[in-house]
């Protein structure tokens, strides 16, 4: 299973943010865009083209599944998406990987330069 997940890593920033956005709750595309903007404090903005291109990939890889439309939504055209267990596993793996990267980065940045 781990090998299966690891082949998707590393994730692109867009996919990482989208999976993160969906990790908390089911969202529609526009809400994903807004959530990504919020997470990155406005520094990373997804356009619809990029968003749905990546959603296309995520759906194809089964990281995400579609829930369909919701009658109570203000715009009935919106479809909701949910993170699958595979997607959640991939996100967790990516998070671990990034943690390792961060840890390694901190170690290197804090260590004194050695002379040869």
Partner 1 sequence: MLRSLYCCLLRLHPSAFRQRFADEMLSILDHTAGKTASIGLLVDGLVSLARQWTLRPEFWHNPWPDQHPAPDGVPSFRTLAPFRPRAGAVIHGLVLSTGIFCMTCFAIRYGWIHVLHVRIPEVQFDVPQSIQMKSGTVASAGPERPTVPAPSDNQSPVARLAAPQSAFNVPTQTPLAPFETQDHVAQNPVAHSSEAGCPQSRVSPCAQPAVEVAGQPKRKLVPESARLGDLQSNSLLLPDSFRFSQPRTEQAKPLNPGTMIRTEGRDVNLSAAERQQVIHGAVANLTKYYIDPDVAQRMAQALWAHEKSGDDAATDGEAFADLITTQMRDVSHDRYLMMVYSTGTTPANPPAPTPDDVARYRKEMEGNNCTFEKVKILPHNIGYLKFNEFPDASICRTTAAAAMASMNHADAIIFDLRDNPGGYANMVALIASYLFDHPTHLNDFYNRSENTTEQSWTLPPVPGNRLAKKPAFVLTSSSTFSAAEGFSYDLKMLKRATLVGETTSGRGHMGMGHRIDDHFTIRIPGIRVINPISKTNWEGTGVEPDVRVKAADALKTAEKLAERTLQKK
Which residues lie near partner 1 (CB under 8 A)?
28-30, 33, 47-50, 52-53, 55-56, 59-60, 65-70, 75, 77-80, 82
* Minimum separation from the CB atom of position 68 to partner 1 (A): 5
Q: Which is nearer to partner 1, 45 or 106 (CB)?
A: 45
Q: Which is nearer to partner 1, 70 or 88 (CB)?
A: 70
- Name the strands in the sheet holding 64-69, side by side, starting at the edge strand that comes first in the sequence: 27-28, 79-83, 64-69
* Minimum separation from the CB atom of position 28 to partner 1 (A): 7
Q: Which residues of 54-83 are buried (b: 16+ CB within 10 A; e: fewer)?
A: bbeebeeeebbeeeeeeeeeeeeebebbeb
């Amino acid at each position: 299973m781990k090998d299966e997940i690891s082949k998707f890593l590393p994730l692109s920033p867009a996919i990482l943010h989208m999976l993160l956005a969906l990790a908390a709750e089911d969202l529609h595309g526009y809400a994903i865009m807004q959530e990504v903007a919020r997470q990155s404090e406005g520094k990373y903005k997804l356009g619809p083209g990029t968003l749905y291109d990546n959603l296309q990939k995520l759906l194809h890889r089964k990281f995400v599944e579609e829930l369909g439309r919701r009658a109570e939504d203000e715009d009935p055209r919106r479809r909701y998406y949910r993170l699958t267990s595979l997607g959640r596993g991939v996100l967790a793996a990516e998070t671990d990987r990034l943690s390792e990267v961060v840890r390694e980065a901190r170690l290197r940045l804090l260590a004194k330069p050695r002379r040869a």
